């Protein structure tokens, strides 16, 4: 039987720990503040941002939301980014993706101060990750890969020497997760929409990480997983107004 990873309990533990750290910072006169950019009216983006707001409020982090119309110009966003970079009271900056097609996300991320780049996507932070010049706990790394490693650690899953199949090749999940796992001596296989015989690739794996988010065109089924494998489902799908992952629990 496969082991399905459940991150809810771990998330609550992390939030409890963060509440204590935030309270201590506030006692010292520091109010941790996250600035978030939301451009346009993408329905899923609004839900993601609202989730971030809720998480921040639960642990005591100040959440600033800057909204822009779908027609916003790149210069407008850059101007605000530069101002927030220089504002000592802002400690993290986040741009909700995707952006309207006329905006270049890579160019905008480059305008964020590397020290405030909470997504870990600035070229400076990406470079440190790929050069191995990072601290797993303190460095600014993409949060989903970092969370996956914490989940594996919580369940006592050893990755050294294991074959890990990741169904995602994005800069935010698949690629950084692959590097973090390689640094733990795992053998990593990155799969994507052009991968041939995906089921064969997943059935070989000791650990499968699914981050597709394209239901109903993709569903991770039991037939795709070998006996005793570990499944980490971080896919986000909105079906009939409900949030669900990639895996079919039936």
pLDDT for 24 beyond 90: yes
> Domain containing 181 — which CATH number?
3.40.50.720
Q: Whole-angstrom Cα distance, residue 232 to residue 246?
A: 10
How many domains is the chain built from? 2
pLDDT digits (tens, 9 = 90+) for 49-106: 999 999 999 999 999 999 999 999 999 999 999 999 999 999 999 999 999 999 999 9
Do 48 and 98 reside in the same domain of the chain?
A: yes
pTM, 2 dp: 0.92
Q: Pick from 75, 93, 124: which residue ends a domain? A: 124
The answer to whether residue 14 sits within a structural domain is no
Give the domain CATH number at 52: 3.40.50.10860
**Is 78 a known active-site residue?**
no
- 158 token code pair: 């050893």
Is there a catalytic annotation at residue 146?
A: no
Asked if 197 and 237 sit in the same domain, the reply is yes
3 falls in which pLDDT band (50, 70, 90)?
A: low
Q: Which of 117, 119, 206, 246 is catalytic?
A: 119
52 is catalytic: yes
> In terms of Cα–Cα distance, which of 211, 208, 206, 205 is closest to 234?
211
Domain shared by 145 and 110, yes or no: no
Q: Which domain holds residue 65?
A: 32-124
Q: What's the whole-number average pLDDT of the chain?
A: 94
Annotated catalytic residue, options 15, 41, 78, 96:
96
**Do 158 and 226 fall into the same domain?**
yes
């Amino acid at each position: 039987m496969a082991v399905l990873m459940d991150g809810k309990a771990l998330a609550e533990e992390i939030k409890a720990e963060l509440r204590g750290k935030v309270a201590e910072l506030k006692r010292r006169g520091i109010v941790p503040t996250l600035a978030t950019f939301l451009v346009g009216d993408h329905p899923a983006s609004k839900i993601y941002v609202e989730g971030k707001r809720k998480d921040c409020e639960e642990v005591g982090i100040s959440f600033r939301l800057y909204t822009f119309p779908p027609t916003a110009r790149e210069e407008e966003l850059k101007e605000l980014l530069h101002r927030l970079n220089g504002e000592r009271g802002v400690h993290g900056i986040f741009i909700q993706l995707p952006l309207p097609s006329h905006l270049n996300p890579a160019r905008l991320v480059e305008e964020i101060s590397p020290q405030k780049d909470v997504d870990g996507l600035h070229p400076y932070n990406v470079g440190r990750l790929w050069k191995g010049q990072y601290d797993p706990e303190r460095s600014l790394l993409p949060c989903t890969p970092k969370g996956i490693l914490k989940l594996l650690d919580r369940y006592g899953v050893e990755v050294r020497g294991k074959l890990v199949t990741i169904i995602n090749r994005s800069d935010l999940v698949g690629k950084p997760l692959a590097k973090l796992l390689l640094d733990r001596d795992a053998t990593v296989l990155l799969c994507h929409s052009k991968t041939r015989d995906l089921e064969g690739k997943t059935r070989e794996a000791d650990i499968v990480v699914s981050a597709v988010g394209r239901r109903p065109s993709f569903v991770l089924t039991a037939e795709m997983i070998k006996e005793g494998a570990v499944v980490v489902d971080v896919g986000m799908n909105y079906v009939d107004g409900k949030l669900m992952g990639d895996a079919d629990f039936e």
